[in-house]
Amino acid sequence: MPRQIPWWIGGIALSLLFYFSFSSFGANRPIGVSTGMAYLSTILFGLDAEHYIYTAEIEKSGAWEGVMLFGAFFGGLFVSLFITKSFRISYIPTLWKIRKNSSIKSRMTWSFIAGFLLVFGARLAGGCNAGHILSGGSQLAISGIIFAFVALGTGVVTGRFFYKKKGASCDR
Amino acid sequence: MIDRIVNMFDIVAKQGHGSVATVLLIGFFFGAIIAYSRLDKFEKMAGFMIFEDTLVPRMAMTTVALSSVGFYFLVQTGYASFAVKPIMLTGLIVGAFIFGIGLVILGKCPSAFFVSVSEGRVDTFVGVLGGMVGGGVFTLLYPNLKDWMGSSRGSPQVFDFFVDYNLAVVLIFATILLVTAYFLPSLEFRDEADFKEK
């Protein structure tokens, strides 16, 4: 069995899943993720809906996405164990070693900061890649198009300054 | 915490957006497709923004192109309704800016968080912890941030500007995305670590 599907099969498969979720045959709502992340954080830190207005506001959508994320974890685990066979404990991505450094401490510190920025930024914006770009873009939502241009543009500019240039010497 | 987790499943069971089993199944296939296409890898997501790999834009454009046409017909035939996010301009732009910085550094979108963790990536697990703190801090600050994020400017779609030509708009939109995806250069960062025989 191939260890990876090509981009066009991935795109077709994801759109079929989107049809199912979006239609009344499935969940009658588009797929989103970052509200679920925020909702899970309210569970982790005990920020309940009775005392925190944001928890109350996102409770329905956040719970749906939180449960979906449980499923996503097991979907990823199944594929990495039995199909791609890529499950292994790893600390630093290969490309990070090439374009940044080989320090576990550096990667972990930046991962924590970046994870914070991702969820905090997504909540400020009201969505992430899934909710704004994929589900929003599929509905030709202006909010999704604005988000895509700003987020991806910022990512490209940040990447230009944050990482070493392609082909530059590295400290491996 | 256990009570809240049980309550989360209970909320899903009662809200009319699919049974718990349906939502778990949607999540399972969502995670499986992300993992099987390798979209969860740093090399794919960060790699796209530092010009090492073009899988993410090609796959995302294909998904949005096909979904836009499908969504349009599902809505037209009454099998779905649009659920468009509102524009709260300051929050949207500042949030997208912050998100973009995090995205290129972590190299995972929130969709890929748990998928990547399920593959044994400790750095992503640390990213998830950072995300949990980010979500918690946002929840605490929300009463102060709410007004600053801006009032809702509605939930406009491109359709609203071409009321009589909705089908043409969606077909042109999808065609542009599909053609762009097809003609984007095939850059692929091959991570040999994934192809070692065990």
pLDDT in tens, chain B (198 residues): 888 999 999 999 999 999 999 999 999 999 999 999 999 999 999 999 999 999 999 999 999 999 999 999 999 999 999 999 999 999 999 999 999 999 999 999 988 999 999 999 999 999 999 999 999 999 999 999 999 998 889 899 999 999 899 999 999 999 999 999 999 988 888 887 776 654
How near does any CA of chain A get to the CA of B164, in Å?
15
DSSP alpha helix (H) spans, A7-164: 7-22, 34-44, 53-82, 94-99, 104-125, 137-138, 142-162
The verdict on a CB contact (< 8 Å) between A141 and B128 is no
Chain B residues whose beta carbon lies within 8 Å of the beta carbon of residue A102: none
At A111 the pLDDT is: 97
Q: What are phi and psi of A90, to 5 degrees?
A: -135, 155
At B190 the pLDDT is: 82
Do A64 and A126 sit in the same domain of this protein?
no
Do A30 and A62 sit in the same domain of this protein?
yes
Largest Cα–Cα distance in chain B? 58
At B174 the pLDDT is: 97
The residues, any chain, with a CB within 8 Å of residue B25's CB and separated by 6 or more, are A71
Of A59, A88, A117, the residue at which a domain comes to its end is A88
- Please report, for chain B, the start and end positions of each structural domain, with discontinuous segments joined by +: 2-152+164-187
Question: For residue B150, is it left (φ>0), alpha (ψ between -120 and 50) or beta?
Answer: left
C-alpha–C-alpha distance, residues A113 and B130, integer Å: 6
Do A7 and A76 sit in the same domain of this protein?
yes
Do A23 and A57 sit in the same domain of this protein?
yes
Q: What are phi and psi of A103, to 5 degrees?
A: -90, 120
Residue A67 belongs to domain spanning: 1-88
Q: What is the ipTM of this complex?
A: 0.94
Of A88, A112, A143, the residue at which a domain comes to its end is A88
Contact (Cβ atoms closer than 8 angstroms) between residue B59 and residue B180: no
Instruction: Quickly tell me which residue has 């164990």 as its tokens.
Output: A81
Chain B residues whose beta carbon lies within 8 Å of the beta carbon of residue A3: 194-195
Of A53, A73, A88, the residue at which a domain comes to its end is A88
For every residue of A39-60, DSSP letters joined together read HHHHHHTT--TTT-HHHHHHHH
Q: Is residue A169 part of a domain?
A: no
What are B45-54's pLDDT values in tens digits? Answer: 999 999 999 9
What are A21-66's pLDDT values in tens digits? Answer: 999 999 999 999 999 999 999 999 999 999 999 999 999 999 999 9
Instruction: Quickly tell me which residue has 């995806």 as its tokens.
Output: B181
Largest Cα–Cα distance in chain A? 54
Chain A residues whose beta carbon lies within 8 Å of the beta carbon of residue B198: 85
Do A48 and A82 sit in the same domain of this protein?
yes
Do A26 and A47 sit in the same domain of this protein?
yes
Do A96 and A67 sit in the same domain of this protein?
no
Do A128 and A73 sit in the same domain of this protein?
no
Q: Is residue A172 part of a domain?
A: no
Do A50 and A1 sit in the same domain of this protein?
yes
Does the pLDDT value for residue A6 go beyond 80? Answer: yes
Domains: count for chain A: 2
Do A100 and A62 sit in the same domain of this protein?
no
Do A65 and A37 sit in the same domain of this protein?
yes
The residues, any chain, with a CB within 8 Å of residue A55's CB and separated by 6 or more, are A39, A42, A47, A48, A49, A62, B139
